Amino acid sequence: MPTDPVIGVLAVQGDVREHLAALAECDVVARPVRRATEIAEIDALVLPGGESTTIDKLTRAFDLREPILDRLKAGMPAYGSCAGMILLADRVVDAIEGQQTFGGIDMTVRRNAFGRQVESFEEDLRVTGVDGEPVRAVFIRAPWVEEVGDAVEVLATVAEGPAAGRIVAVRQGNLLATSFHPEITGDIRVHRLFVEMVRSAG
């Protein structure tokens, strides 16, 4: 792998620009991915926040699904935030009929678990692998993880409130997922964690 890994951001819907900006601060080459041919040109992939059902439909419409699946099965690192977490889950509760995921993380995720848009909130979280002060986590119609398999490392849980104890960040091998949106806070430490995973995989 070259000195600067090439990390793609799936650019069919969602927080694409925000992820590209965060990655650009992490000494990598960040580029949007919209075509199947571009999947072969990246070392890792970010699945952004947005609407998981829409992203699923668009990846199929643009013939991106199979190339992404092939790369993930071959070990390509990936990071999913919010909707991206759903897309990396092996199982989804409250999925729309016909909704598909890429899978890869042995977890069950509940869509929109924290409620509607008006019930979005922020919380300071301790995230394993992220040094320094807590991460300011922004939850927007976010999922949470209901259960994980033995191979999944839990990186963060909600500390307070009615959702206390709910899992909101996980890792399995080269795959990372968060319920929250680090790309919109200006804190790039979660992205740096992912970049470290990409470099280690290379």
Indicate the pairing of strand 78-81 with strand 44-47: parallel
What pLDDT sits at residue 187?
Answer: 94
Reduced DSSP (H G I as helix, E B as strand, rest coil) percent helix, strand, coil of the chain, to 5 = 30, 30, 45
**Mean of pLDDT over the chain:** 93
- Answer whether residue 182 is part of any domain: yes
pLDDT tens profile 73-108: 999 999 999 999 999 999 999 888 889 999 999 999
Whether 82 sits among the annotated catalytic residues: the reply is yes
Helices (H), the chain: 16-24, 36-39, 52-61, 65-73, 83-87, 189-201
Among the listed residues 18, 19, 123, 181, the single catalytic one is: 181
pLDDT by residue (tens digit) across 108-135? Answer: 999 877 766 546 788 999 999 999 999 9
Question: Is 1 among the domain residues?
Answer: no
Q: 28: which 2 tokens?
A: 């990598």
Predicted local distance difference test score (pLDDT) of residue 42: 97
Query: What is the band of 1 on the pLDDT scale with cuts at 50, 70, 90?
Result: very low
**How many angstroms separate the CA atoms of 69 and 71, rounded?**
5
Residue 161 pLDDT exceeds 90: no
Percent of the chain with pLDDT over 90: 81
Question: Does the residue 39 lie in any domain?
Answer: yes
**Overall average pLDDT of the 7-17 stretch:** 96
Q: Assign residue 177 the CATH number of its domain.
A: 3.40.50.880
Whether 26 is catalytic is no
Assess if residue 29 is contained within a domain. Answer: yes
List 18, 26, 82, 191, catalytic entry: 82
Q: Which residues constitute the domain of residue 158? A: 6-201
Domain count of the fold of the chain: 1
User: Is 181 a catalytic site residue?
Assistant: yes
pLDDT of residue 118: 44
Q: Rg of the chain's alpha carbons, rounded to an integer?
A: 15
Of 79, 177, 85, 193, residue with least CA distance to 129: 193
User: Among the options 18, 38, 123, 183, which is catalytic?
Assistant: 183
pTM, rounded to two decimals: 0.94
Assess if residue 31 is contained within a domain. yes
pLDDT range class, residue 18, cuts 50, 70, 90: very high
pLDDT value of position 82: 93
- Whether residue 141 is predicted with pLDDT greater than 70 in this model: the reply is yes
For residue 184, what pLDDT is reported? 92
Element of type H or E holding 6: strand 6-10
